Amino acid sequence: MWFDKIPDKTIVWHAQVNTTTGLVPDGSRVTLTIDRGLILTDPRGQELWRSSLDSGSVSRGRITDAGNFALLSEDSETELWSSFANPTDTLLPTQSIEVGGNLSSRRTETSLAKGRFRLRLGDDGDLQLLVLNSKSLAETDEYFSYYSSKTNDPSNPGIQLVFNQSGYMYVLQSNDSRFYIKDEVPKSSSDYYHRAVLHFDGLFALYYHSKGQGNNGLGDNRRPKCQCPEMFSLVDSSDEYGDCKPDFKMQTCGAEDSKTADVNAGVNPYEFIRLNRTKFPTSDYGKYANYDEELCKASCLSDCFCAAAVFRSDQVCLKKKFPLSFGQRSLDGDSDTFIKVLNRAADVPSTGKKGKNRDWLIIGCSVLLGTSAFVNFIFVALYSKKRLKQARDIGATSTAIESNLRVFTYRELVAATGDFMEELGRGAFGIVYKGTLKVNSDSEVTVAVKKLDRFAQEDEKEFKNEINAIGQTHHKNLVRLIGFCNEGQNRLIVYEYLPHGTLADYLFRRQRPSWEDRRRIAVGIARGILYLHEECSEQIIHCDIKPQNILLDENYCPRISDFGLAKLLMMNQTHTLTNIRGTKGYLAAEWFRNSPITSKVDVYSYGVMLLEIVCCKKAVDLEDSVILIDWAYDCFRQGSLDDLIEDNLVEIDDMETVEIYVKIAIWCIQEEPGLRPNMRIVTQMLEGVVQVHDPPNPSP
C-alpha cells in the first residue's frame, strides 16, 4: 500500500515475504479466501505469504482513508486481520503498537525483506530500538538496544505506543500519563500527511508531507552518513553502508610481530588513529583507573592483544579486543577511541610466513535516532579473516578445477538470479536461488545458485569442501557443478537446475509416489554414495545424507547434492576424527562418542532414508510421536510390516521386496559400525545379487 497523492511512490505497508529482496517473481498472484484471508503464491502455486487469521470466515476486504486494510467477518464489522495490527516498517496516524508489537526495518534501501532493526514495545512497557544479530536476523537474537523510552516503571509501565490523528507520538502509560517521543508541536494534519518510518539503517524518523506543496519534512542533511575510519576502505565502493577492510596488515601475537619490532630497531611498528568523541561500550577486556591519555595509549601499544583503547574523561582507560562492536560518536561524547594501525613512518617488511598474516574487517553502519534531539551512532564490528591464507587456498582450488568449472563474477550471478529473487530452498550454510545463464545469443540454461550466508572461518571450509568434493565428480546420481564465485566476501556455487525439487517434497506429499519409482530412487542413491566412497580418487564421506539433500531431475532420477559437510579421505585412509556434522535423526552413534568417523556414517544415514522411502514417513514424526527406526524394527520383529505401508495395495502385492528393503535398512542402522555393510554390499542387496539375512536388534 502507498500514498496515492504523493508524487513519489511512498510505500506504507507490504507483505514481508521471506526472500532476499522481499519481492516475488513475475506471475505471482494474490487471492482472497474465506478461511485464510489473503494468500500470496508464486507462479508454481507455492504459498509465499498469507494473512494470519485466528478464527472466523472472511467475507470482504476494506481499505480506509487512514491507510488501514482490514479483512472483515461474514456477519459483522469485526476485523479478522488488518494491516494496522500487522505493521511492517511504517506507522500512520491513528495506528498504535500494543505491548509485544514491533516495527521491522527493511534489509536494505531497496530490499523489502526484514532487516536487522526493530522498534518494540516490550512486555515491561519500555519502548526500545533494537539491533538483531546481523547473520541470523532471528527475533530472539537481540544484539543490543540503542534507544529506550525508560517507560518500564513497574508501578506505571507503558501499555501502548500511540500515533494519533494530529501527528503526536507517545507511549501511553498505565495511569494515562504520556511520554512524548517528540516534544514539539507537529504540523497540522489538515495540511500535511504524516508517517513514521524505521529505516533500513536504524533511523526512526517522523515525516510530514504537504498536501499542497509536495515537500518532505526531513532533508538530506538530517540523514546519517557512514564512512570508514582512516586507513580503512569499503570492500564495495558502491555500498556506503557495507563492510570496511583495512589497508594494512593488522597486529598478531605471533613471532613475526616480535621480529618486525627488532628489524625496526626499537621503532614500534604500530600507531593509533584517533576517533574523537567516540566510545565502545562493549568488548573491553581491561579497565584501568587514574590513567592519562598517553599512559592509556602506551598500555595498548605494548599489548599485542589490544586492538583499540578508549580513554574517558573520568581518567578511565578501556582496552578492547577484536571484534569491536557498537561504536558511538556524539557531539557531547566524553570518550575518545584510538584504533591501532600500522605505523606509516616505519618501513615494516613482510615475513612472508604462511598462516600468520591476518586481516580484519570493519562493518560500518550509522543510526540517526529522533527524540527531542538527534544523536549520531556509528556501529563498528571487526572480525578476523585470514584473507591471505584464503587467497592461497581458494587460488589452489581454482587452479585445480578451473579447467572443468567456470569462475563467475558476483555481478554475473546477481544478474542471472534477478538479484536473488526466487528462492528454491535453504540449509545450514546458505540459500539456493533459481537463475538463468545465457549459453549463447539464442539459448539459455536454468541453474541453481547456492549463496553462502555466513563468512566465518568454518564457512570458508564448507565452501572449499563443496568445491573440492564435487568439482571433479561425474556420476548420473550426483548433482553436476557448473561453476563458482569467490569474490571478496561472496561465496556462491552454481549447479545444474533440477526441476522436480527434493526427495523430501516427493516422499512426504499427500499422494504417495509409486512403489516402482521409489525402488528405482533407492537404488540410484545407493549407487551415487558407492561412487563417492569407492570410485573417486579421494574417498568422499558426504556426512549429511537425507531426503532434503537428494534432488530429482526431469525423469525423477535422484541426484545427491549439498556437499558442504563432506569429509575427504585419501584412499589409504580408513577413518578420521571430526566435529559432529549432519542432521538429527540421520546421525550414527559414533558422532556422539568421539569415535573415528568412517564411510559407515553415510551407510547409517542411508538406512534411515531407505525406511523413509519404503514408508513415506519422516524419520522423526512429532505429530504421531514416532521414531521411524524404532517402529520399523518393532514391525519387523513382530511380523507386521503391513503396518509400515498402511495397507497400500501396490506394496502389499510386493511384500517380499518391502521386507528385503526393511531388512537392508535395519542392517544399515546398526549401532555398531562394524555390523553395517558397506555401500557396495548395500547396492548388491538392493539389486538382488546378495542374499539378505535377518538383521539383529540395531540398538541392543
Predicted pLDDT of residue 519: 93
More confident residue, 257 or 92: 92
Which DSSP string do the residues of 381-437 spell out, in sequence order?
A: EEEEE-HHHHHHHHHHHHHHHTTTSEEPPHHHHHHHTTTTTSEEEE-SSEEEEEEEE
Q: Quick check: 283 pLDDT over 50?
A: yes
Question: Per mean pLDDT, which of 21-25, 413-417, 457-461, 519-523 is the most reliable?
Answer: 519-523
Distance (Å) of CA 609 to CA 503, 576, 585, 675, 697? 10, 24, 10, 18, 18
d(CA 84, CA 81): 9
Q: Is 647 a catalytic residue?
A: no
CATH topology of domain 503-686: Transferase(Phosphotransferase); domain 1 (1.10.510)
SS3 label, residue 607:
helix
Can you tell me the mean pLDDT for 604-629? 87
Predicted pLDDT of residue 191: 85
Can you tell me the mean pLDDT for 294-301? 91
Predicted pLDDT of residue 375: 31
Predicted pLDDT of residue 471: 74
Which residue reads 562418542 in cell numbers?
593
Q: Is the peptide bond before 695 cis (omega within 30 degrees of 0)?
A: no
Q: Is 69 exposed, middle or buried (0-12, 13-18, 19+ CB in 10 A)?
A: middle
Question: Per mean pLDDT, which of 223-227, 234-238, 454-458, 489-493 is the most reliable?
Answer: 489-493
Least confident of 374-383, 603-612, 623-632: 374-383
Q: What percent of the chain has pLDDT over 90?
A: 33
Segment 396-427, tens digit of pLDDT: 444 334 446 788 898 899 989 988 888 887 76
Domain ranges in the chain? 232-385, 409-496, 503-686
Can you tell me the mean pLDDT for 541-556? 89
Can you tell me the mean pLDDT for 444-470? 68
Helices (H), 616-654: 628-638, 642-645, 649-652
SS3 label, residue 99:
coil
Average pLDDT, the chain: 79
Q: Quick check: 363 pLDDT over 80?
A: no
277: its cell numbers: 568523541
Predicted pLDDT of residue 380: 33
Exactly one of 126, 336, 544, 562 is catalytic; which is it? Answer: 544
Q: Which helix (H) or strand (E) holds 666?
A: helix 655-668
Least confident of 458-462, 472-476, 613-617: 458-462
Can you tell me the mean pLDDT for 467-490? 81
321: its cell numbers: 579486543
d(CA 309, CA 655): 73
Segment 636-682, tens digit of pLDDT: 988 888 888 876 766 777 888 999 999 999 999 999 999 999 999 99
451 annotated as belonging to a binding site for a ligand: yes
Q: Are 49 and 17 in contact (CB under 8 A)?
A: yes
CA 173-174-177 angle, to 5 degrees, is: 45
Predicted pLDDT of residue 444: 85
Distance (Å) of CA 41 to CA 45, 56, 541? 5, 22, 38
What's the half-sphere exposure (Cβ side, CA atoms, 13 Å) at 600?
22
Q: Which amino acid is at 688?
A: G
Q: What's the pLDDT band for 546 if we cut at 50, 70, 90?
A: very high
Predicted pLDDT of residue 215: 46
Can you tell me the mean pLDDT for 126-145? 72
For 409-496, give the CATH class: alpha beta
Least confident of 94-108, 237-251, 587-601: 237-251
Question: Per mean pLDDT, which of 17-26, 309-318, 376-385 is the most reliable?
Answer: 309-318
Segment 479-507, tens digit of pLDDT: 888 888 888 778 888 988 998 889 998 99
More confident residue, 83 or 259: 83
CA 465-471-473 angle, to 5 degrees, is: 110
Q: Quick check: 354 pLDDT over 70?
A: no
Segment 154-167, tens digit of pLDDT: 999 999 999 999 88
Q: What's the pLDDT band for 453 if we cut at 50, 70, 90?
A: low
More confident residue, 145 or 353: 145
More confident residue, 188 or 671: 671
Distance (Å) of CA 434 to CA 124, 413, 418, 593, 638? 44, 10, 9, 39, 47
Q: What's the pLDDT band for 344 if we cut at 50, 70, 90?
A: low
Q: Which residue, among 352, 326, 337, 321, has the nearest Cα to 249 in the 3D structure? A: 352
Q: Are 165 and 413 in contact (CB under 8 A)?
A: no
More confident residue, 251 or 355: 251
